[in-house]
């Protein structure tokens, strides 16, 4: 389980390399994504609070990167943060996301990116629930829900 100290270490010294990379031209990303998805994921934008498709979603499944399809977050780690964005306590595995120091807008924050295609996801904060204490504050436009398969009865 990652903690805030792990996040800071990874942001300062680099995250583990993914097992593969997805790289496309800007034109290819624009052709694949909606304008909002492109703005959020490729231009490091942010959707307005409380407007995202997954802000209040509770369906079981995995949330994957909207750009490359890499599973990033499990619905079991999603919680109601009251911030207006989907919030998770952990990525599905340590190398699913990478952390990068973000000093934009006169603040110091830690950006969360897909480790496979560098899609901007959101930011991580140390004010989440136990046991990790993390709040990965993620834009709905950067993810897609892959619903859990029903078990045969």
Binding-site residues from annotation for Zn(2+) = 65, 68, 114, 117
- As annotated, the binding site includes 65, 68, 114, 117
Cβ-based burial of 84 (10 A; exposed 0-12, middle 13-18, buried ≥19): middle
Which residues does the annotation mark as catalytic?
137
DSSP for 49-83 reads TT-STTTT----EEEEETTT--EEEEGGGEE--SS
Instruction: Note the maximum CA span of the chain.
Output: 55
CA distances from 4 to 12, 58, 78, 144 (A): 12, 25, 17, 25
């Amino acid at each position: 389980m990652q903690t805030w100290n792990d996040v800071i270490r990874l942001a300062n010294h680099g995250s583990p390399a993914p097992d593969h990379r997805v790289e496309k031209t800007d034109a290819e990303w624009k052709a694949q994504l909606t304008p909002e998805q492109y703005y959020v994921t490729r231009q490091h934008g942010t959707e307005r609070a409380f407007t995202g498709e997954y802000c209040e979603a509770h369906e079981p499944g995995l949330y994957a990167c909207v750009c490359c399809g890499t599973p990033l977050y499990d619905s079991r780690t999603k919680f109601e943060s009251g911030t207006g964005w989907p919030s998770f306590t952990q990525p599905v595995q340590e190398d699913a996301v990478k952390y990068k120091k973000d000093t934009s807008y006169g603040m110091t924050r830690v950006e969360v990116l897909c480790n496979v295609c560098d899609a901007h996801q959101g930011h991580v904060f140390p004010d989440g629930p136990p046991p990790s204490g993390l709040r990965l504050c993620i834009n709905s436009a950067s993810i897609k829900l892959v619903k859990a398969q029903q078990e045969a009865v």
